[in-house]
Amino acid sequence: MRYVKYSVAELLQVTENEFLTTLFWHTERKTLSERSLDDEDKINSWRDCLYFFKRVLSEYPLLTNIAQVPICFEYNIFDGTWIDALIVCHNKLIILEFKSGNDCRYETLISHRSQLLGYYNKITRCNRVIWEELKKNPQFTVEKYLVYTNPAMSEKLERLEYIKVTDEFIDVLAAITAAADDDRVAQLLDFVVELDITTTGVMRDILNQKILSEMYVQDDNVMACARIVDDIQTQIAERNLNLIFIKGAPGAGKTGTAFSLLEKYLSDGAKYVTGNGNLSAIFSQMIREDHIVGTEAAAVGSLHNLYDVQKFCAKYQNGNSKENLALSKNKLLIIDEAQRVWNPLQIALAKKNHLNDEQKAFIIEKEVSEAMLVLRAVCGAVHKDNLSRTIVFLLGSGQEIYLGEEDGEKYIKKAIAHLKGLPLSKEIHINIYVPTEEMQKEYTPLGHSCYVEPGLLLNKNKRNINSETAIEFVNAIVENKLPKLDASVKDAFYVFNDYSALLGAVTEVNTGAFSVGIVANGFDTLVRWEKNQYGRNCPVSYLKLAGQEILNISNDQLKSFYLDKLCNNLSTFASQFNCQGLELDYAIVVWGRKILRRDNKWIFSNEKVNAIDNYCNQLKVLKTKYPQLESVLKFNQEQIQETFIRNCYRVLLTRARIATYIYVEDQETSDYLQNILLG
């Protein structure tokens, strides 16, 4: 059994010795006589808990109404997590975490709150039974309470709705509803296999031929898209290009939807590609290290590998009609992070494409975007074999940090219009499916038909309990607007001016059951030089925190950092480039000095950022060499750098599923963020 269960009536009757003996055997598989000094704190906390329950229950005037309600103590989740207690009603779970309140330091109190939030996230996001119950049963709820048994804590806590001190526990008792019977308790607490709802965890399950949780497969958005795909496949129409657009904000579940579609149509030749370099890199590492081969390995790739720019230039710039361009053989192509498709400038300047200046000028002048190259590859396949193809675009927005990714949807629309205008001997019919009437107005002129399917709009957050309000809060902070202080934001962000205190605050959650990692601006670090294995001097980027060097991970360490939880060592950090599109349970953001608060506004560092400097210098060279590009290559370097820094922090501050700890060394910036959160 994963817990020790007493009804309220039984709890009032149980003796202290019986209670302690039962819990100790449950947790340690030892008798009380075998306990050591290390066990005393735990046993004393149980003793206090029992005394507390007996006192408040005996004084509760409506005791008979709740006498048969079960309370499950030391609920054990297989990953080593032990939850103090759960009150199990037929249509409600109440999570309880008890603290004596002897330590009143800020970091300790924060650790209590974040620990409870972690448990809540585990129960509501990672327990398949509870997730499905919440979806199908609108009456079912999960509540959480942090309970202090020391009355002295009343004046020392930030008073949040879920924090109760001693006699305030009556609010919890008042929240109890009809009792769950034994079968219902067993059903709700049957936490057999934890759902890994992380992007990387779900993809690993697909690659290892595991069936995804129905939390995705039965999702309304997945079903809406699947209906369209199934209808298309049933019609067996020739020479159709079907373009399906799924849209959602960060954290809305776009990647989960993409994975569900991949799993459903994998045997039909579906392929998943992403415009996010981190995702494609980590998937490649999983395939290599997990020795995955065959259909599963071939079904995952990078958007940037679907075309060959060199061959495109050879065929259309140099007139080499014999050059064969890559054709997309997949009947269903799923493009995740489609808003990140490269614009012509990024295509021209990307190192991977190895273009000379003349080719770069051609790409820019002809507005050859990544969307155009991919759609032409798919369209070419349709034209060659007359078989219809379907592309699912998953569009997000608002967190682009790479230059050349900020206007992806615009170039997707241009590419569709380009396809419609191709002089083909036999027309290819373009069918477009969009989630909103507003998008229908934009896309109708681009294709031959355009349909609205509201189910393609992802309007509910799936990342974590605070994600929607957290994203709104971050956007307001970064854009220098007054943020709306929702109560949940107080537990989405914690600000520290002392790194040692911050480390103390994460102690309770850095147990291996959760991922805890450091993220920071990669252009706000120290650098030293080291010889690599080939004897070449290479730069090593690092932070200095509490006297320790914290090294920046490389892209080939993504899997170990995120999936294998080496991030929990807190000896390495991920930059904005290593963490975009990836998540941690708890993120430690090192604020740095690129953006500081001065005189009620943000001041951006004017120190050169090499990536932006190199980008702008390349544009200057092309503008000088090819005067016809003058109007296309206009730019404001200062504005580019400011946008780059803003979006960097937008990414860093939204990497956590549960809570973000912000370490700000600069006092004025720290005070500003603290005051915002204090309201």
Q: What is the pLDDT of residues 497-538, one digit of tens each?
A: 999 999 999 998 998 889 999 999 998 999 988 887 788 888
pLDDT band at 216 (very low <50, low <70, confident <90, very high): very low
Buried b (16+ CB within 10 A) or exposed e, 74-84: bbbbeeebbbb
211 or 422, greater pLDDT: 422
Question: C-alpha dihedral over 9, 11, 13, 16, to 10 degrees?
Answer: 180
Query: Could you tell me the domains of the chain?
Result: 4-188 (no CATH), 216-458 (3.40.50), 467-678 (no CATH)
Rounded Cα distance, 66 and 595, in Å = 54
Average of per-residue pLDDT across 169-195: 89
pLDDT the model gives residue 597: 96
pLDDT of 620 > 50? The answer is yes
DSSP 467: H
Buried b (16+ CB within 10 A) or exposed e, 610-634: ebbeebbebbeebbeebeebeebbe
323 or 53, greater pLDDT: 53
pLDDT of 303 > 70? The answer is yes
3-state SS assignment for residue 553:
coil
Q: What is the pLDDT of residues 30-65, one digit of tens each?
A: 999 999 999 999 999 999 999 999 999 999 999 999
pLDDT the model gives residue 98: 96
Q: What is the pLDDT of residues 251-278, one digit of tens each?
A: 777 887 888 888 888 888 899 998 888 8
Question: C-alpha dihedral over 537, 542, 544, 545, to 10 degrees?
Answer: -150
pLDDT the model gives residue 83: 95
Rounded Cα distance, 143 and 81, in Å = 18
For the ranges 201-205, 508-512, 558-562, the lowest mean pLDDT is seen at: 201-205
Average of per-residue pLDDT across 571-591: 93
Average of per-residue pLDDT across 2-18: 96
CB neighbour class for 31 (10 Å; exposed up to 12, middle 13-18, buried from 19): exposed
280 or 368, greater pLDDT: 368
Average of per-residue pLDDT across 188-199: 68
pLDDT the model gives residue 663: 98
In sequence order, the β-bridge partners of residue 4 are 73
Are 543 and 590 in contact by the 8 Å Cβ rule? The answer is yes
Two structure tokens written together for 648: 């960097």
528 or 294, greater pLDDT: 528
pLDDT the model gives residue 194: 57
For the ranges 22-31, 232-241, 623-632, the lowest mean pLDDT is seen at: 232-241
Q: Is the pTM of this model over 0.85?
A: yes
Rounded Cα distance, 587 and 477, in Å = 18
263 or 361, greater pLDDT: 361
Rounded Cα distance, 413 and 427, in Å = 19
Q: What is the pLDDT of residues 429-487, one digit of tens each?
A: 999 999 999 999 999 999 999 999 999 998 766 666 666 678 888 889 998 888 888 87
Are 159 and 146 in contact by the 8 Å Cβ rule? The answer is no
For the ranges 328-342, 459-473, 665-679, the lowest mean pLDDT is seen at: 459-473
| CA dist 228 → 23, 335, 375, 457, 621 (Å) | 53, 16, 20, 14, 47
pLDDT the model gives residue 128: 76
Q: What is the pLDDT of residues 126-176, one digit of tens each?
A: 777 887 888 789 999 999 999 999 998 988 888 899 999 999 999 999 999
Q: Give ∠ CA 522-523-524 in degrees, rounded to 5.
A: 95
In one-letter notation, the amino acid at residue 165 is V
Rounded Cα distance, 545 and 563, in Å = 24
3-state SS assignment for residue 388:
coil
Rounded Cα distance, 116 and 145, in Å = 8
